[in-house]
Amino acid sequence: MNRFYFVGLSVAVVAFLTANGLLMFGEKSILPKSVYVSEYEQAYTGTYTIDLFKEALTAPQETVEIYVQDHEALQQWTVQEGDSVTAGSELAVLNEAETADQRSVWETQKTALEGQRNEVQSSLTSLQQAKAAQGGVVSRDASNNSQITNEDEDVIDFDVNVSVGVAVPQDGSYDAGIAQAEQELASIETQLAVLEAQLSQSLSNPSLISPVDGVVSKINRETEPLSIEIYSNEKIFLSYVLEDEWPLVQASDPVNIQGEGIEGIAKGTVQSVSEMPAEESKWLEAYHQLEPHEQNNPLAYYEIRIAVNLPIESKFPFGSNVNTAITLETAEDAVALRTPWLFDYDGEVGKTHTLNIDGRPKTVPVTAEFEKGAKAVLAEGPEAGTIVIHEEKLEHFVAPPKVFMPFPTRQPDFEVAKNTYWRAYVEYLLAR
């Protein structure tokens, strides 16, 4: 009897102590308690960026093409590929007998280009007004006809080599459309300058002249219409983005540029991002070699053009390779926290714990602007100087417990210790 009594009593005592222990020290206990936290740090601000790294090629800012209608109109080319030319210098001598017909072609081209310039200028004005008013989609297109009938009812073929379509997506920025329209307008103005330069030539001594300073890149001597291509002296950097990268890059994004012939890091800006797949060219072929990708869709390469903000003093050739870092996201004076220190975090919003002035944890909501490596860069969250703590148990307490933490440690500087004279150590020990 006594044995059963003592066993029962022991079970009752153990149950009583266990229940009281759970009530006193359990996570849902309302009794004050302390929790040891080993991981903590003081929040500080910094500048964080997300960069897209790309190989790029040095290319001309402008490529000017000048056409001669047929072999009879041309007497002799006076330049070769690779020759440097200046605005107004002679490129070819024309046959005087054929000059009238050639001038007729140039005048027709000029009329067509002036009409297209008006269309693009109208599109640009509409885009600028829509941007100011934050209106809807603005889209203007002008056809690029390759035939026109002159005043003598003759049908003339020519190559204007310009596109004037401008479109802005419903949810996109008007900046891209404005940049595209401005680029097309500049192209038309360049071609008009070419034609006006040719039409200003004397009928008695006709010649083909360069409208720009640059380098002769190619001469078509065989197939009609004959042509000469000139690279402008001003350089840009040409690269390509893939289908999944295209939505991330926008005109006016800042770029850091490094390469042979460039001192330090040159600052640049994305000038344009093409909406059309890149056509096969020597530039795209070189890019495939420099930065090969396994791409299921061979069309999904889109040209981007990068301009330097300030002229680069050193000279480097067309086609040279540079490395670029396109800044896609920037957060200045932002706090970044390690993502494991966030709870209830879905990649955008979550919570973290900070240390209150009374030594207890406080739950603070956070909003992430983007993630950089293993850290979330915050748009909203703890202020700079706040102590942020990490302990998973803190999420389960009903009432915030007292927190105690280890003292901060400071690692000795090995270089300082190695270069300190031995007498300093002796004096320190004796002083103690």
DSSP secondary structure of 73-133: GEEEE---TT-EE-TT-EEEEEPGGGHHHHHHHHHHHHHHHHHHHHHHHHHHHHHHHHHHH
Instruction: Give the Cα separation of 164 and 181 in Å (integer).
Output: 7
pLDDT in tens, 361-413: 888 999 999 999 899 999 999 999 899 998 888 877 777 778 878 876 666 67
Judge whether residue 168 has pLDDT over 60.
no
Q: What is the mean pLDDT of the chain?
A: 80
Determine whether 173 is exposed, middle or buried from the number of CB atoms within 10 Å of its CB (0-12, 13-18, 19+).
Answer: middle
- pLDDT tens digits, 199-212: 776 666 677 888 78
Quote the percentage of the chain above a pLDDT of 70: 80
**What integer pLDDT is reported at residue 171 of this predicted model?**
36
Sheet of strand 63-68: strand arrangement: 63-68, 226-232, 214-220, 84-85
- Check pLDDT > 50 for residue 254: yes
Does 63 score more than 60 pLDDT?
A: yes
In degrees, rounded to 5, the angle at the alpha carbon of residue 146 between the alpha carbons of residues 75 and 280 is 85
Among 157-161, 174-178, 220-224, 240-244, which stretch is predicted with the lowest mean pLDDT?
Answer: 157-161
Question: Residue 347 in 3-state DSSP?
Answer: coil
Residue 33 main-chain phi, psi, to 5 deg: -150, 170
Mean pLDDT (whole number) for 158-182: 52
Q: How confident is the model at residue 158 (pLDDT cuts 50, 70, 90)?
A: very low
191 and 144 in contact (C-beta within 8 Å)?
no
For residue 169, pLDDT beyond 70: no
pLDDT of residue 170: 39
Alpha helices by DSSP H, 214-333: 282-290
**Which of 244, 268, 274, 245 lies closest to 179 in space, CA to CA?**
274
Count H helices and E strands in the chain, helices first: 6, 22
CB atoms within 10 A of CB 242: 13
| Tokens, residue 395 | 């999420």
Task: Tell me how far apart the alpha carbons of residues 359 and 37 are, in angstroms, rounded to a whole number.
Answer: 11
Query: Where do runs of H (alpha helix) occur along 282-340?
Result: 282-290
- Is residue 96 a contact partner of residue 188, using CB atoms and an 8 Å limit? no
Dihedral angle sign, alpha carbons of residues 169, 324, 58, 315: positive
Q: Is the pLDDT of residue 127 over 60?
A: yes
Residue 138 has pLDDT above 60, yes or no: no
Residues in the chain, overall count: 432
The contacts of residue 246 (CB under 8 Å, 6+ apart) are 273, 302
- Show Cβ contacts of residue 316 under 8 Å, excluding neighbours closer than 6 positions: 58, 259, 260, 261, 262
Confidence tier at 24 by pLDDT (50, 70, 90): low
Longest dimension (CA), the chain: 139
pTM of the model: 0.64
Provide the 3-class DSSP secondary structure of residue 420: coil
